[in-house]
A and B are shown apart, each in its own frame.
Chain A
């Protein structure tokens, strides 16, 4: 069974540009989460999808961030326009509907210069 996969693994963009991160959860996992870790800080929750619906987006920092999960399969997280403080690691995670364990991807490492 494939794990949670994220693309790209690393991205370097200039301030003001747009970046789109993609996450493919484990097949059959209804719950999909986005988290991020910026330099020197703890990993923080961004948002939670149940299938294609946003269950909780209380962690989204501002309206430059847009997450989608059309069809309830993979998800994208777009940052537009990117700012320097957006640099960090963006983790995606998924969980089966009735499961307890949350499985994380390897992260998308974003550097904004």
Chain B
């Protein structure tokens, strides 16, 4: 049974810091992995999607990596800003037509 774990559960950093959010999954047989952002009271916004054959994806100040063999992904945020404050969720897709399995999320607070 696939399980997704995110560490840390919460993180507070000063503005400008680079930071890394961690995600681990128990079954390496995944189709892809997605990182989402959720602002309070809002829905989920997809940030980055990494296919199982890829090692990383980049979008602006965000970089996500995937190591399927070790069951790990990281989301790197460069030069953090207060607007980055949100909950970041990692989810794996078990197969193309399947369902997403989510971690519990990391609540990020970036202080001005």
Chain A interface (Cβ within 8 Å of chain B)? 4, 31, 33, 35, 41-45, 48, 50, 55-56, 59, 91, 93, 100-107, 109
Chain B interface extent, by class: 20 to 34
Nearest-Cβ distance from residue B95 to partner chain A, whole angstroms: 11
Chain B interface (Cβ within 8 Å of chain A)? 4, 32, 34, 36, 41-46, 49, 51, 89, 91, 93, 96-105
Contact status A45-B43, CB under 8 Å: no
With a cutoff of 8 Å between Cβ atoms, the chain A residues found around residue B105 in the complex are 42
Nearest-Cβ distance from residue B39 to partner chain A, whole angstroms: 10
Main secondary structure of the interface of A (DSSP, over half): strand
Contact status A42-B97, CB under 8 Å: no
Contact status B99-A42, CB under 8 Å: no
Nearest-Cβ distance from residue A26 to partner chain B, whole angstroms: 13
Complex A-B: 5 CB contacts under 8 Å: A42-B104, A45-B99, A55-B97, A100-B96, A102-B34
